[in-house]
Amino acid sequence: MQNPPRIIKDNTLSCFQLAITSLAEQQGVQIDDIWYQAGFYFEDQGDDGFLIDSRYKPIEDQILNCYFEEHEFFDVGTCMDQVDYYLKQGNSLAVTVDNYELKHSNSYHNQHHEHLIEINKRMGEKYFVTDHFFHFQGEMTHEEIVSGVSSYLEQFKSLKINLCFLKNNQVEYTTHDLIQIIQETCTIMSGEKLFNVSLRGELGVNAFSIMTNKFLQCVNGDGQDEDEIDDWYNAFKEVGNSRYNFFRLLHRYYPTIDLSFITKASQNWISLGNMLLKAQYLNTWKAMNERIIKRFERTLSQEIENIHHLRNVLNSLCNSKQ
């Protein structure tokens, strides 16, 4: 590590995304080019809740010309040996830790949470650490790192180290790359598969009916489960952020094209999540049910409209290549 990486302050990204962004940025990748996946998948998991995901392909297929590695471990010693090995090679890396053992986190000795920190260098019995999510950069002792890693293994059963390497010197998207990304988004949001895989849930706009029914089952019961409402809020926020980051990518390369329809979709998802928090805080579910359903309908309508707009953008880009 020649110089410490900058602390990335971006509230549209999770702790995982922030750490991976930093690793990729150190390879020359622009932050706007990374988190563009703006699909939608919903799966009703019965008594276990639900799954919402805007991603449609693994991260190693996402970051342009970067080779992404993820290593899994089931004991602390082997994990820390590998941390030290990669650091000796001059590589920054990201490792899973439990927030419960991080003195700089808001969950220190309070709540157990999955978390990812970036380790940049070892200096004797200390490590230089960057935690973008909590805006922390500084030294942690070997004992402190081991405590975070050990607690994570105890709570979440396995450990992971993430690394990112540049394949070649091309770190800018071509028009062909961007056309492919837009085509993938249109395909997923139209409810079609990109890959021949078996899915228990639904894709794109086809998922809205079962998602709405699942949500109404949650809020129309005898009482609302606060943790489940938090899960809905976080899921809607993540989907909203995915649309905004998709906008960031396209706007960086095509600043003169009107892409405001993508930010409208983002705002709809964020507003939907905020409405849930308001209803939960004020305990006004019955009074707000109609408004929430209308927001679901508006969000669906915007997503359908966006498929049409994206296809128009595709036509424009394809014609400009000819």
pLDDT (mean) for 126-143? 97
Residue 281 lies in a domain: yes
| 19 and 123 assigned to the same domain | yes
Q: Which of 120, 147, 166 represents a domain boundary (last residue)?
A: 166
Query: What pLDDT was estimated at residue 246?
Result: 98
Residue 276 lies in a domain: yes
Backbone angles phi, psi at 123, to 5 degrees: -130, 90
| 161 and 180 assigned to the same domain | no
pLDDT (mean) for 111-137? 97
| 124 and 223 assigned to the same domain | no
| 207 and 136 assigned to the same domain | no
The residues, any chain, with a CB within 8 Å of residue 133's CB and separated by 6 or more, are: 14, 15, 18, 115
Top pLDDT among 112 and 28 is at 112
Range of the domain at 76: 15-34+66-166
Query: What pLDDT was estimated at residue 64?
Result: 74
Residue 5 lies in a domain: no
| 152 and 255 assigned to the same domain | no
147-186 burial, b for 16+ CB within 10 Å, e for fewer?
bbbbbbbeeeeebbbbbbebeeeebebeeeebbebbebbb
| 189 and 142 assigned to the same domain | no
Residue 127 lies in a domain: yes
Asked if the model's pLDDT at residue 3 lies above 60, the reply is yes
The residues, any chain, with a CB within 8 Å of residue 205's CB and separated by 6 or more, are: 40, 189, 190, 191, 300, 303, 304, 307
Asked if the model's pLDDT at residue 179 lies above 90, the reply is yes
| 142 and 181 assigned to the same domain | no
Q: Which of 116, 132, 166 represents a domain boundary (last residue)?
A: 166
Query: What pLDDT was estimated at residue 290?
Result: 85
Query: What pLDDT was estimated at residue 214?
Result: 93
Q: Give the whole-number percent of the chain exceeding pLDDT 90.
A: 76
CA 299 to chain centre: 20
pLDDT (mean) for 207-236? 86
The closest alpha carbon to 41, from 235, 276, 229, belongs to: 235
Strand, coil or helix: what is 109?
A: coil
Residue 151 lies in a domain: yes
Query: What pLDDT was estimated at residue 35?
Result: 94
**Integer Cα distance of 169 and 150 in angstroms:** 38
| 72 and 183 assigned to the same domain | no
Asked if the model's pLDDT at residue 206 lies above 90, the reply is yes
| 288 and 229 assigned to the same domain | yes
**Integer Cα distance of 49 and 97 in angstroms:** 25
Give the model confidence (pLDDT) of 278-314 as tens digits.
Answer: 888 887 787 888 888 999 999 999 999 999 999 999 9
Asked if the model's pLDDT at residue 223 lies above 60, the reply is no
The residues, any chain, with a CB within 8 Å of residue 141's CB and separated by 6 or more, are: 125, 126, 127
Query: What pLDDT was estimated at residue 160?
Result: 95
What is the CATH number for 149?
A: 3.90.70
| 273 and 299 assigned to the same domain | yes
Give the model confidence (pLDDT) of 225-257 as tens digits.
Answer: 788 889 999 999 999 999 999 999 999 999 999
What's the domain count of the chain? 2
pLDDT (mean) for 4-10? 95
| 207 and 161 assigned to the same domain | no
Categorize the per-residue pLDDT at 2 as very low, low, confident or very high, splitting at 50, 70 and 90. low
**Integer Cα distance of 55 and 63 in angstroms:** 13
Residue 47 lies in a domain: no
Query: What pLDDT was estimated at residue 67?
Result: 84
Query: What pLDDT was estimated at residue 159?
Result: 93
Residue 303 lies in a domain: yes
Residue 59 lies in a domain: no
Give the model confidence (pLDDT) of 70-101 as tens digits.
Answer: 999 999 999 999 999 999 999 999 999 999 99
Strand, coil or helix: what is 213?
A: helix
| 277 and 306 assigned to the same domain | yes
Query: What pLDDT was estimated at residue 27?
Result: 87
pTM for the predicted model, two decimal places: 0.92
Q: Which of 128, 146, 166 represents a domain boundary (last residue)?
A: 166
pLDDT (mean) for 203-226? 85
CA 183 to chain centre: 21
Give the model confidence (pLDDT) of 31-69 as tens digits.
Answer: 999 999 999 999 999 989 999 999 999 887 887 778 888
Q: Give the whole-number percent of the chain exceeding pLDDT 70.
A: 97
